């Protein structure tokens, strides 16, 4: 995880220490942020950019994932992929955790649908005759399958996002390493 900022080095290093970031690129001009992000991407890193101003729009667009602060400018919000409601840098980690949980649920629901249809279609088509099911039972089973997928998706509400913190002691983030650039 790295911090890329237009702030002066002492301020940037103090903030980076507080939130547990080791790599600090300070005094970066607004026009150079997108180039620095391209450079990090050229090194094979996935880059997330957090920004709130008009000058952050090109960098937000260049980043693999752009995070705009909800109180930021309309241009930054339009350029970003994700809009954070607060100015808490740990919300970026929460957004990453939530995105991983969402992807996991999508895969679970997809595999359930595939498994259900692999079994249900041949039965409904009469492949296993004389074993058949009535249309009423088939409709009920399909409704049950759809309800199961919906309930599984609703389980995302149980994803724990509180207490997600990185700091100097641990400097660990759940999930993949993401280089984060901050305005």
The domain limits of the chain are 2-88+165-182, 94-158
Radius of gyration, CA atoms only, the chain: 23
Q: Is the pLDDT of residue 63 over 70?
A: yes
Q: For all residues of the chain together, what is the average pLDDT?
A: 84
| Spatial separation of the C-alpha atoms in residues 161 and 174, rounded to whole Å | 11
* Alpha-carbon gap, residue 155 to 105, rounded angstroms: 9
Tens of pLDDT, residues 112-123 = 999 999 998 888
Classify 103 as helix, strand or coil.
helix
Total residue length of the chain: 183
- Residue % of the chain over a pLDDT of 90: 40
Distance CA 38, CA 45 (A): 10
Q: Is the pTM above the cut of 0.85?
A: no
Q: Average pLDDT of 11-33?
A: 88
**CATH number for the domain running over 2-88+165-182:** 3.40.50.1000
């Amino acid at each position: 995880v790295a911090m890329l900022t237009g702030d002066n080095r002492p301020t940037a290093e103090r903030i980076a220490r507080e939130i547990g970031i080791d790599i600090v690129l300070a005094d970066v001009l607004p026009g150079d942020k997108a180039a620095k992000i391209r450079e990090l991407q050229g090194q094979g890193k996935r880059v997330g950019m957090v920004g709130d101003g008009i000058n952050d729009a090109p960098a937000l667009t260049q980043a693999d994932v752009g995070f705009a602060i909800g109180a930021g400018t309309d241009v930054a919000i339009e350029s970003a992929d994700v809009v954070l409601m607060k100015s808490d840098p740990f919300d970026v980690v929460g957004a990453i955790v939530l995105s991983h949980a969402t992807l996991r649920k999508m895969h679970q629901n997809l595999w359930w649908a595939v498994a259900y249809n692999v079994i249900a279609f041949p039965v409904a088509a009469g492949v296993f005759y004389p074993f058949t099911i009535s249309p009423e039972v088939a409709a009920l089973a399909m409704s049950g399958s759809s309800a199961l997928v919906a309930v599984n998706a609703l389980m995302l509400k149980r994803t724990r996002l509180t207490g997600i913190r990185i700091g100097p002691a641990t400097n660990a983030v759940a999930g993949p390493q993401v280089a984060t650039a901050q305005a």
